[in-house]
Amino acid sequence: MPEIKVSDDSWSLSSKNGNGVLRREVWVDERGRVVRYNLAYINHGVFQGDNGRVVGYDNAHGFHHRHFMGVVEPVKFKSFEDIEERFQADWIAFRSKK
């Protein structure tokens, strides 16, 4: 059975909240387990490379990894919930510095 996309959300952010867009895409298998994901904060005004992705996490290309201002590094995967928490912490930390 193919994967099913269960989340495809984008939120436009006000200037107070950092401008840009928060993006969340999630695919699950027939058992409801997350098999693919893409979480991203996109802001072309902050970073033009990597399609504007300032910070993000995904598991494309066969491994779990983090994007930050064009640098891609592997991350240890515990659970999708852990990845979401890490993304949120990174996004909040970045926004707080602005």
The total number of structural domains in the chain stands at 1
Task: Give me the mean pLDDT over the 27-47 stretch.
Answer: 95
**Looking at residue 77, what is its pLDDT?**
96
How much is the CA Rg of the chain, to the nearest whole Å? 14
**Burial class (CB within 10 angstroms; exposed 0-12, middle 13-18, buried 19+) of 35:** middle
Instruction: Give per-residue pLDDT as tens, 56-95.
Output: 999 999 999 999 999 999 999 999 999 999 999 999 998 8
42's enclosing H/E stretch is strand 34-42
Q: Higher pLDDT residue, 98 or 3?
A: 3
CA separation, residue 16 to residues 12, 24, 68, 96 (Å): 12, 21, 21, 11
Query: Domain range spanning residue 20?
Result: 4-97
Asked whether 67 and 50 are in contact (CB, 8 A), the reply is yes
